[in-house]
Amino acid sequence: MNVLVEDGRIAKITQDKIIPFDFKINGSGKFLTPGLMDSHAHVSSIPGMGFGVEPISVKNPKIAAAYFAQQPRSFLYYGVTQLLDPNPGLNFKHFTSAVDHPDYFRCEVITSKETFPYVEKKDDQSKSMFTYLVDEHALEHEANSVESVVQKIYKSGASCIKIYFENGYGNASQWPILSPKTLQRIKVSAGKVNLPILAHANALDMQQLALAADVDVIAHGMWNWGEYARERVISKEISQVLDHIVDEKVGYMPTQRVIAGLGEVMLADIVDSTEFLSITPQSLLDWYKTPQAQWFIDELRIGFDGMPDKAISDAFLYGRIGKGNIVINYLNKSKHPLLLASDFPGSPSFANQPGLTTFQEMKAMADAGLSLEEVLAAATINNAKQFKIDNDYGTVEVGKMANLLLLKKNPLISIESWNSIDTIILRGRPIKRDTLAVKKEQVIVE
């Protein structure tokens, strides 16, 4: 089969020879697939440091710069050619201005000064990430009303709106959530300009609230089963939530790497992972071994009341991942089209690195019980359809964007084949995988 690409799009797919052509890639014996879409990745965040505007990143400007220069290339290295960032803050220009970067889509966050995540940030720099703060009491015509803010987001070119259903992490709790009235106003205003609503919600009660607010996508797996936390099978209350998701065709992002990242950061040797060497600048890897870089690990230890690290790790890697897997399986058995969405980096854990996390999320979906065909769909057409960009992306079809991967191994035989990329084709332009790896000259000595 021959594929002709013209002006960045697929122009012809045929058994016949195509002549003339300017440039030819020999794909014989290889596998051509659509490029992958990760629909939940935070490009303004540095693994281990948090968002680039937060104090710890600001204190390490050279490391941050080396990281941000490499990051778009690392996503491409793992075949991510489209990326949706649900919370870019002010800091995504490094990504969109890079010579080679995945096609970029973003949601903008609506929050208020009383609710998470704004309420969790302690300093002005971190708070500056939230450009779309609403005053829940403001009337429709006022500048910071729900209606005005939704209009601003729409005009900014965003693809969606993200709202948080989060009342606290670990022992901390009882942050207020946007009121039902505000949620309803967001839904109505977003509907008028056709912006889908993504909900951050990972607990049973929070997902119930998100569904009551009629959101379009649940942006996290359900790891926190509330009063059913000690049970191993799905309770009636949980199955009602999941059935609602299936019946109402609500998009679902399992984001298992959030939990895996928390479990793996507790393992002392994670920083020596050989995979990191291709995608993470050496200066950042070196920083991970310094005492300052241990702050998040210390925070997790406090949250677990001094339990041994291995036990904390197991609680995430077996306990909560297991719960997420049961939910994934339930939805998948109901033929619900799941979405590849890693939530890179998911937390300030440095176990999650750009691109690699997306690949690991695909492995997590396969581990949870999806077939390799279902993982392929989750990574390509399901995301394209969910965000209504399937005219341009999601399959190898005439007329679509030539964002493609040439694999050495068949991805329908082994999930590991997604790590056998020969060439990434970005809008028709071939890029050899090796050329995207971390360059030696990017190593900056502090």
What residues line the site for Zn ion (CB under 5 A)?
343
Residue of 174, 171, 152, 153 lying closest to 162 (CA atoms) = 153
Q: Which is nearer to Zn ion, 75 or 405 (CB)?
A: 75
Q: Min. distance of Cβ 42 from Zn ion in angstroms?
A: 6
Question: Which amino acid does the sequence have at 339?
Answer: L
Q: Which is nearer to Zn ion, 45 or 74 (CB)?
A: 45
Q: Which is nearer to Zn ion, 147 or 343 (CB)?
A: 343
Q: How many helices (H) and strands (E) does the chain have?
A: 17, 15
Q: Are 308 and 300 spatial neighbours (Cβ–Cβ below 8 Å)?
A: no
Q: Are 48 and 294 spatial neighbours (Cβ–Cβ below 8 Å)?
A: no
Work out the number of other CB atoms within 10 angstroms of the CB of residue 227: 10
Q: Which is nearer to Zn ion, 216 or 343 (CB)?
A: 343
Work out the number of other CB atoms within 10 angstroms of the CB of residue 39: 30
Q: Are 255 and 320 spatial neighbours (Cβ–Cβ below 8 Å)?
A: no
| Beta-ladder partners of 51 | 45
Question: Which amino acid does the sequence have at 285?
Answer: L
Instruction: List Cα–Cα distances, 11 to 7, 26, 214, 306, in angstroms.
Output: 9, 17, 39, 60
Q: Min. distance of Cβ 430 from Zn ion in angstroms?
A: 32
Q: Which is nearer to Zn ion, 54 or 343 (CB)?
A: 343
Q: Are 245 and 336 spatial neighbours (Cβ–Cβ below 8 Å)?
A: yes
Q: Which is nearer to Zn ion, 38 or 343 (CB)?
A: 343
Q: Which is nearer to Zn ion, 44 or 182 (CB)?
A: 44
Cα separation, 275 vs 261, whole angstroms: 15
Q: Min. distance of Cβ 268 from Zn ion in angstroms?
A: 26
Q: Min. distance of Cβ 343 from Zn ion in angstroms?
A: 4
